[in-house]
Chains A and B, each alone.
Chain A
Amino acid sequence: MSQTFLYLTLALYGLATLFYLVYLSRTTEQLASWSHRLITLGFIAHLLSTIHLISSTGQLPISTISESLSLFSLTIVGAFILFERLYKVAILGSFVIPLAMISIVISSALPETVSDVPPPQYGLWFWAHILLIFVSYATFTISCGASVMYLLQQHFLKKKHFGALFRKLPSLDTLEEISYRSLMVGFPMLTAAIISGAVRSYQAVGNYWSWSDPKQVWTLITWLIYAALLHGRFVVGWRGKKAAYLSMLGFVVLLVSLIGIKHNLNW
């Protein structure tokens, strides 16, 4: 059953990605609304698939990279749908949805490893920690997407390239706003995620923090980067290029943390 949903999700995401990419060169209202419909349907399919997976296995789908990437993809799409509704910037999809697509494709390409270790007892803190991490990652992805768009648009404005893409991209102001607004949602979530993770850690192994756990360290680095970014934006007055690059750096670190680093503790 979840297989069917998976294929459905892949197909819908794939089509949506195609539409959003075509949207970069041809803009019509119909294209925008179809892209939106497709991605919303895909999201529903993906969500149902994930819920089914959770209820049938009884555990959170985060033990393998494959599962993490799938969840990552889901949250990116969810966050995108929300931001697209708020800011009516369909073209954000052209930059963000392909990421979600790549994520789910890799996820389904990776082999499924069956773990013979019985799932640990999950408590409220663990669930909270996972949820917060993934949602914050999704908002950081949005921020990165908006930052890339910002850099593009700024390039067009500085170099006086007034092509079709320049016309389609929203104002620098809007792009900056999407970028930092998403951070303002994501950063507190990340903070809460680290805290809830620490509590869970205490429950499981007896201490709140372990410097030898690479995942905790990398998450902290991610947190520091975004903290610096927000501080710079509001206190020092960093804008434009600097802020955009930092947002992209944060995203790269987050990606490494998500797929490259694992907790070395038995949680």
Chain B
Amino acid sequence: MNTNELLAYFREEVQPTRSETRQTWGIFWGQFKIFLTYRTWVITETFNTIVSIAMYYFLSFQVQPTQLEERGYGTSYLAFALIGVAFANYLWFCINRISHSMQDEIREGTFETIAASPIRMRSYLFGQAGRGFLIGLYYMLGALAVGVLGFKAPLHFEPAALVTSSLVLVFMVLSHLGLGIVVAGVVLVYKQGDPLTFMLSLFMEFFAGALFPLQLLDRYPALAFASQVMPYTYALDALRKSLIQGATALSAEILFDLGVLVVYAAILLPLGLWSFRIGYDRIRREGTTSVY
């Protein structure tokens, strides 16, 4: 093809699409395709999931079920811990993915290309998050499948429980997305975010009672209060009640949990985008968009 033939394609007047949904989809699509090229990673993570569930299975023989019953979570520690860990890992993965991808993009030089394009930063962030949520879903569902099919964890999978837990999952993700975006903003400025996400995941697992019933914190008022302000506490409570006890979204206790998650989403999401904007403007002032 010669130059004139090429130029002919660029003479036509084209109206740009300017659709944020399409931009978000583009980021999601590209990032997901990149993920699919890391086959070894997928295999090792699957192996890790199976081993960790097996660990909780053997631990379950040592735990008394009375405290679980008091909270309305049935009598199986395995089911209790399985939900706690599977969803905590899912959430941690989603939050971590945004900042991790951003670190990769800065290191590989693609972030500057994105930043110099007309894409809205929130489309970029939501696209990155979307990929994390989809990949995380694979591991979360995998963990639940290993727990239920491999180790006979007693969970409810009736349609009403599945609809309820899916609804809780969506609001759990929305209420924590802001935190993931805050961490991404920190990565932009300080070029490191792993310690922060690790700390967040530890806090989430501990204070929301991923592995132990929250009554154990009652004798420490400060810790009990911290568990009450964690959005994950409410997500986990709703998920356990629906998947262990079969409670539906119409029950008062699940509606309360959902309401709290909606409030957190309404506060944390704009806060996350705002803090990311501050970080982004700072690196533009410092001229460090390509520094890693």
Chain A partners chain B? no
CB within 8 Å of B: which residues of A?
none
